[in-house]
């Protein structure tokens, strides 16, 4: 039971989870405002504003920096991981989403007369640079607020 208590009070893990949940809730709210519909998938789905991936990894890095110092090995590792994740979110995963959209369009336009698997490829995979930046700012703010209140 000590392990569960330690996990529940981890000063890096808890704010990271809060940052993720906050980003996902914001996605649901923005979908309600912009598209005028409730989309429960936004609570767990990838892509969209803000980037939950960026929020989490930035929150982890900033939390590690605030706790152990911004010249610590823990911060260096977390910041390096954050850079890789954010690059992937805005680069590789976004490109994969664009390719999925193009493939879906090709299938819709060219194969309407023939039977084709009706399941479309998922298009909302990655993030725009702005979505990554906003997610990163959100993660840093959650880390700072959590540390101030903890």
Residue 131 located in a structural domain: yes
Structural domain contains residue 114? no
CB 48 within 8 A of CB 25: no
DSSP structural state of residue 43: G
Residue 84 lies in a domain: yes
CA proximity to 146, closest of 43, 23, 25, 10 = 10
Asked whether residue 25 is domain-assigned, the answer is yes
Q: Tell me how many domains the chain contains.
A: 1
Least confident stretch, 56-65, 74-83, 98-107? 98-107
53, part of any domain:
yes
DSSP letters of 103-116? HHHHHHHHSSSS--
CA distances in angstroms from 128 to 24, 32, 59, 133, listed in the order given: 16, 20, 19, 9
User: Model pTM?
Assistant: 0.78
Averaged pLDDT of the chain: 85
């Amino acid at each position: 039971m000590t392990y569960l208590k330690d996990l529940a009070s981890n000063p890096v893990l808890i704010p990271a989870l809060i940052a993720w949940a906050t980003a996902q809730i914001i996605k649901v709210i923005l979908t309600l405002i912009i598209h005028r519909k409730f989309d429960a998938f936004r609570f767990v789905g990838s892509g969209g504003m803000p980037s939950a991936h960026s929020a989490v990894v930035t929150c982890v890095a900033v939390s590690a920096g605030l706790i152990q110092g911004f010249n610590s090995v823990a911060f260096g590792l977390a910041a390096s991981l954050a850079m890789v994740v954010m690059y992937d979110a805005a680069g590789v995963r976004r490109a994969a989403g664009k390719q999925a959209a193009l493939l879906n369009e090709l299938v819709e336009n060219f194969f309407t007369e023939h039977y084709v698997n009706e399941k479309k490829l998922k298009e909302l995979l990655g993030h725009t640079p702005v979505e990554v930046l906003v997610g990163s700012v959100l993660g840093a703010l959650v880390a700072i607020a959590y540390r101030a209140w903890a």
